[in-house]
Amino acid sequence: MVLTGAEIVVACLKEQGVDTVFGYPGGAILNIYDALYKHADEIRHILTSHEQGASHAADGYARATGKVGVCIATSGPGATNLVTGIATAYMDSIPMVAITCNVGTSLLGKDSFQEIDIAGVVMPITKYSFIVKDVRDLAKVIRRAFSIAKSGRPGPVLVDITKDATANTTEYIQQVPDVILPDTAAITDEDLHTAAELIKEAKRPMIFVGGGAIAADASEELLEFAEKINAPVCDTLMGKGAFSGEHPLYAGMLGMHGTKYANFGVTHCDLLIAIGTRFSDRVFGNAAKFAQNAKVLQIDVDPAEIDKNIRTTASVIGDVKEVLKRLNPMIGQYDHKEWVEHIEELKLKFPLKYNLDGLTGPYVVEEIYRVTKGDAIITTEVGQHQMWAAQYYKYSKPRQLLTSGGLGTMGYGLGAALGAKTARPDKTVINIAGDGCFRMNMNELATASRYNIPVIEVVINNHVLGMVRQWQTLFYGGRYSATVLNDKVDFVKVAEALGCKGIRVTKKEEVGPALEEAIAHGGPVLLDCQIDCDDKVFPMVPAGAAIEDAFDEDDLKKKEM
């Protein structure tokens, strides 16, 4: 059949099973919006308050489901407003397709109104970026974009389409999408046997898991692996839920704000098995002192990650699920009772703890965990509240914690929550935010109220930029440059003005009832939880220090004495 380019875009989205797109219209993309209007019963369009919110919503949709998230925007500033969200998805390996439209082909390169070379702009932060000038290429490019986004190490792809390509017509033939098979080409028997031998020889193995295990849907294989070799498991921020936080072998998060027992465990293990993690600087601290006593076995789909930050003893390159499927039958049932008991002793000696007097961020997170029975999808912004959400909520399943790990994007969480709730209406979805982050994306509460998307926005409000202030307190002599937010902005009134319910929380005993009221409300709700401006995230590893140098409040008091 003969279709316009705009109709081909919609037809290709339907081919790929897309049921929701997030976006914001403009002149250059009007033809696509006209086509979406005609197919509104098949593809739901969520009009966000800002294009950045659309990109974060598409990202949240993808993280919550494992499917490709889709966002769309017009040319020029509409397209550039997607950039932060595209970069966020790229850093965290999230499958996303961003569709933008540009000025007509005859106007390209002439500094036309709202013209920007968006394909060039995003080249370093996408797996691939396309510009389509000929309608005959459009279907092929969109299909390829989805294939690239999903295959191997997932990530975002951008398709920019000139306006005339959306108006012109060509023959369209429907196709069944390609089946994306796990990447197994590089998995060799030799590498597997080497891995199995390292595991057999280890006396103090430690498993370190990242977001790649979630992307590969490898949780069941990971559980079998951990229980077979009887090894403690620690994770990255991105790996939360890949291995249940409620399992006896779980040893918490590793790194700058990880648990002391995870950091000490990695420091003293003799084999570190890294699964689906890229060894971020926030994890290893001082690379020269990281896991000095250990051989390192790395399992990852991306060969570029091997030996990039931490030198390995051996590696297996391939889809994590497929690697573990092949490796599990090759290893025996091992008993590392003394080592596991040692980690248990460290858990007792160095538990996570916080001030129990008054309302604090950790208490709010623990109440969220209690009220939701550990079954909510949690999104976060970036800062102290993000670390508390990682430390004090026990994620038992993958795709429960959606957070910007690599880019550290303030303003990510509320858009991501909208995407997650749209994708998973059966789940309670709560965004844990700081007041600084909330100021960056509070306009998306209007999106929540427009569509009555019942997300819960929990603002841990300390009237400062908390994490930056923490660094200023500890390392900059208490010089609080541009971090105090103690002004007259009333978040409850803001929420109400944007069509949402607002609840202020100032005491510990108010948190649980407020959460229960918010869940029962059935619409979007904001909780403004007022905490002290000097509450801090502990443990902490100073930048560039060894992870075994983690300190907490007790250590600071001893040092002062």
Positions marked active-site: 51, 113-114, 163, 467
Rounded distance between C-alpha atoms, residue 138 and residue 403, angstroms: 33
Say how many C-beta atoms besides its own lie within 10 A of residue 130's C-beta.
20
Rounded to the nearest 5 degrees, what angle is found at the Cα of 317, between the Cα atoms of 316 and 318?
Answer: 120
Residue recorded with tokens 């950790």: 362
CB 491 within 8 A of CB 421: no
Rounded distance between C-alpha atoms, residue 187 and residue 330, angstroms: 14
3-state secondary structure of 212: helix
Rounded distance between C-alpha atoms, residue 46 and residue 142, angstroms: 21
Rounded distance between C-alpha atoms, residue 285 and residue 138, angstroms: 46
Count Cα atoms within 13 angstroms, Cβ side, for 119: 16
Helix, strand and coil content of the chain, in percent to the nearest 5, comes to 45, 20, 40
Closest Cα to residue 268, out of 233, 286, 287, 292? 292
Rounded distance between C-alpha atoms, residue 136 and residue 169, angstroms: 8
Residue 384 CA from chain centroid, whole number: 16
Rounded distance between C-alpha atoms, residue 216 and residue 198, angstroms: 23
Side chain identity at residue 378, one-letter code: I
Answer positive or negative: Cα dihedral of 384, 387, 393, 397. positive
Helix H or strand E segment including 263: helix 260-268
Closest Cα to residue 204, out of 226, 232, 225? 232
Distance linking the first and last C-alpha atoms of the chain: 80
Helix H or strand E segment including 62: helix 51-65
- Alpha helices, H only, 330-425: 337-349, 361-372, 384-392, 413-423
Rounded distance between C-alpha atoms, residue 403 and residue 298, angstroms: 24
Cβ burial 405-443 (10 Å sphere, 16+ → b, else e): bbbbbbbbbbbbbbbbbbbbeebbbbbbbbbbbbbbbbb
Rounded distance between C-alpha atoms, residue 16 and residue 69, angstroms: 11
CB 529 within 8 A of CB 364: yes
Helix H or strand E segment including 402: strand 401-402
Count Cα atoms within 13 angstroms, Cβ side, for 438: 28
Token pair belonging to 375: 């079954």
